[in-house]
Amino acid sequence: MAGSVGVIDYGGGNLRNVLNVLSHLGHEARLVTSPADLEEIDRLVFPGVGAFGDCVAELDRRGLRQPLLEWIAADLPYFGICLGYQVLFERSAESPGAAGLGVFGGEVVRFSEGSGLKIPHMGWNLVGPTDRSLAIWDGAPDPLYLYFVHSFHPVPTDGAIVASTTDYGGAFASSVSRGRLFACQFHPERSQEAGLRLMENFAADAAASASV
């Protein structure tokens, strides 16, 4: 159904919360469990709570890896959250030998145990957009605080895709953007009004693009 938002179901994740948020924002949302489901949507959200290796293995089992790569290559709207951000990269220290989608060069690494930081990084933290003119940041508070729960984070090879940085024992890429793809390490669905603004910006901008 044109105009609906698909939410990737890989057998884990924070699916119900994301579906509820999209419904609250007035968008019809449905789970994507097979390649055929992608034909019924025009926007895609990939939320994530779980392990990198288990996630990509389930994508492969459900035949979703190649359709996801084709979706992204076609510059169709994609919003990745936490694990849905990490799987875009080539590999993760969390799951040695597991191949990510490889959309971007780089590796997902763990925060250093010797840094004195509490791991996982959990709670509200400052997110610094690298380019406030991106549609995703429209109307977002400044300063912008969003909610994190993670022990791993991507290190992109190409710094040009970094859309925001956050400091936790040093700056890391808390989101990336390219075309109509946006993916982030923070959880907008858990970030109250600030996070809802980002999700609405994505859904509204993607819908406007689809209608042109």
Is residue 187 part of the annotated active site? The answer reads yes
Tokens of 101: 């989608």
The Cα 66–Cα 50 span in angstroms is 21
Is residue 193 part of the annotated active site? The answer reads no
Q: What single letter denotes the amino acid at residue 97?
A: G
Catalytic, out of 27, 121, 150, 187: 187
Catalytic, out of 27, 121, 153, 189: 189
User: Euclidean distance between the first and final Cα of the chain, in Å?
Assistant: 17
Tokens of 150: 């993670």
Catalytic, out of 82, 94, 184, 200: 82
Is residue 184 part of the annotated active site? The answer reads no
**Apex 20 CA angle, 14 and 23, nearest 5:** 140
Residues catalogued as catalytic: 82, 187, 189
